[in-house]
Amino acid sequence: MKALVKESGRVRWIDHQRPGVGSSTDVEVQVIRAGICRTDLYVARGLLKSADPVVLGHEFSGVITAVGEDVEELTVGDRVTASPFVGCGRCVACSVGEAPYRCLKPKMIGVDVDGAFAEYCVVPASLIYRIPDSLGFEKGAYVEPVAASLAVVEAGIDPSQRGLIYGGGRIAELTRRILSAHGIEDLAVFDPDEGGRLEECSLDFIVETRATERAMADMIDALKPGGLLVLKSRPRRDVSIEFREVVRKELRLQGAHYGSFDEAIELLASERLEVADLFGATHHMSEYAGVIDRLWRDESKKHFFSTEVTAAGGAR
DSSP character at residue 199: P
Nearer to Zn ion, 220 or 265 (CB): 265
Question: Which residue minimizes CB distance to Zn ion?
Answer: 37
Shortest spacing between CB 284 and Zn ion, in angstroms: 20
| Residues 74 and 27: beta-carbon distance below 8 Å | yes
Among 31, 37, 118, 269, binds Zn ion (CB under 5 A): 37
Residue type for 156, please? G
Burial class (CB in 10 A: 0-12, 13-18, 19+), 18: middle
Shortest spacing between CB 15 and Zn ion, in angstroms: 26
Nearer to Zn ion, 57 or 163 (CB): 57
Among 21, 48, 63, 88, binds Zn ion (CB under 5 A): 88
Q: How far apart are CA 309 and CA 119, in angstroms?
A: 12
Shortest spacing between CB 292 and Zn ion, in angstroms: 14
**Does residue 278 interact with Zn ion by CB under 5 A?**
no
What would the x/- binding string for Zn ion be over residues 240 to 259, using CB under 5 A? --------------------
**Does residue 108 interact with Zn ion by CB under 5 A?**
no
Shortest spacing between CB 240 and Zn ion, in angstroms: 24
Within a 10 A sphere around the Cβ of 201, how many other Cβ atoms? 12
Nearer to Zn ion, 163 or 303 (CB): 303
Shortest spacing between CB 260 and Zn ion, in angstroms: 17
Q: How far apart are CA 258 and CA 161, in angstroms?
A: 23
**Does residue 66 interact with Zn ion by CB under 5 A?**
no
Which range of residues in 39-47, 165-173, 244-252, 272-280 is near Zn ion by CB under 5 A?
Answer: 39-47
Which range of residues in 60-68, 103-111, 133-141, 240-248 is near Zn ion by CB under 5 A?
Answer: 103-111
Q: How far apart are CA 177 and CA 192, in angstroms?
A: 19
What is the DSSP secondary-structure string of 100-159? GGG-SS-EEBTTTB--SSBSEEEEEGGGEEE--TTS-HHHHTTHHHHHHHHGGGGS---T
Shortest spacing between CB 198 and Zn ion, in angstroms: 28
Query: Judging by DSSP bridges, how do beta strands 223-231 and 107-108 pair with one another?
Result: unpaired
Shortest spacing between CB 315 and Zn ion, in angstroms: 19
How many residues make contact with Zn ion (CB under 5 A)?
8
HSE, CB side, 13 Å, CA atoms: give it for residue 221.
11
Query: Judging by DSSP bridges, how do beta strands 279-284 and 302-306 pair with one another?
Result: parallel
**Does residue 150 interact with Zn ion by CB under 5 A?**
no
Quickly list H helices, the chain. Answer: 38-44, 92-95, 137-140, 143-150, 169-181, 213-222, 243-248, 261-270, 288-297
**Does residue 94 interact with Zn ion by CB under 5 A?**
yes
Nearer to Zn ion, 34 or 94 (CB): 94
**Does residue 103 interact with Zn ion by CB under 5 A?**
yes
Shortest spacing between CB 106 and Zn ion, in angstroms: 7
**Does residue 87 interact with Zn ion by CB under 5 A?**
yes
| Residues 248 and 116: beta-carbon distance below 8 Å | no
Question: Which residues make up the interface to Zn ion (CB under 5 A)?
Answer: 37, 39, 59, 87-88, 91, 94, 103
